[in-house]
Amino acid sequence: MLSVIIITKNEEEMIGDCLISVKDLADEIIVVDSGNTDKTNEIAKSFGAKIIKTKSTNYSEFRNAGLKAATGDWILYVDADERVSPQLRLEIKNTTVPGVYQIPRKNIYLGKEMRFGGWGNDKVIRLFYKKFLKEYQGELHEQPIFDGQLRTMNHELIHHSHRDLSSMLEKTLDFIEYEAKLRVEVNHPPIVWWRFLRVMATEFWLRFVKLQAWRDGPRGVIDGIFQIFNMFVIYARLWEMQHEKGFTRR
């Protein structure tokens, strides 16, 4: 028996196609409501999904809440903006060896598959024989803690990342708050002017030199510049949080 777990927050535009891609695969669908105020839950219920609500702001707790509610021997995590390809669906159905599996992921950004800038060779650990999965840890960049051998599936998840610039900006604001908060919690040194230049220069080197974002054309350039901007805003918000707490310059 396979339980599919989907974490959601206002995903009415994306959840339907996600559910269609797993409905013939899942014996049980669990949708974790992390703060839905739109029609996400209504759509999910129309597919027979079980809705689990949580007031947490911790991404590991979202995934752990779904795990706790699941009754299947196997667990598959799928995000609302992901689709299980027909080939992957068949491969999962034919998987009989208990274990933990990472799945290749094809990333679609602004309508095009991306191969550079950090998008390529992407694999996510999402399929578990339930007895092997202990829990998830990490408030934002959550990771599974598991026993057993890690294997790799042959077919891929289709990830429809940011579909347009407005949705990209909207979702980024949530992550910026998380990222800045995590840095405060580990007592990041007080922000001074040169740190902004350093983190932006480091991100530029990573995206455009090491990962060659420009090779994906205009979309790659847009994403690369956005990642640099994103890092700037994280540190600007961190400076603001530190200022509110009365940090002094070191």
Residue 139 has a pLDDT of 75
Instruction: State the Cα–Cα distance between residues 123 and 157, nearest whole angstrom.
Output: 9
pLDDT in tens, 32-73: 999 999 999 999 999 999 999 988 878 899 999 999 999 999
Average pLDDT for the chain: 93
Ramachandran angles phi, psi of 204, nearest 5°: -60, -45
The answer to whether the Cα torsion of 46, 52, 53, 58 is positive or negative is negative
- pLDDT exceeding 70 applies to what percent of the chain? 98
What is the Cα 59 distance to its own chain's centre?
9
Tens of pLDDT, residues 129-170: 999 999 999 877 889 999 988 999 999 999 999 888 888 888
What pLDDT shows up at residue 85? 97
Q: pLDDT tier at 249 (50, 70, 90 boundaries)?
A: very low
Q: What fold does the segment set 2-160 form as a domain?
A: Spore Coat Polysaccharide Biosynthesis Protein SpsA; Chain A (3.90.550)
Percent of the chain with pLDDT strictly greater than 90: 83
Q: Is the pLDDT of residue 250 over 50?
A: no
Supply the pLDDT for residue 171: 80
Q: Is the pTM of this model over 0.85?
A: yes
Burial of residue 71 (number of CB atoms within 10 Å: 0-12, 13-18, 19+):
exposed
> Which residue is listed with tokens 């995206």?
207
Domain boundaries, the chain: 2-160, 165-245
The pLDDT of residue 178: 85
The distance from CA 2 to its chain's CA centroid, rounded to whole angstroms, is: 21
* pLDDT at position 247: 58
Rounded Cα–Cα distance for residues 27 and 7 (Å): 17
pLDDT, residue 183, reads 92
Average pLDDT score over residue span 199-214 = 97
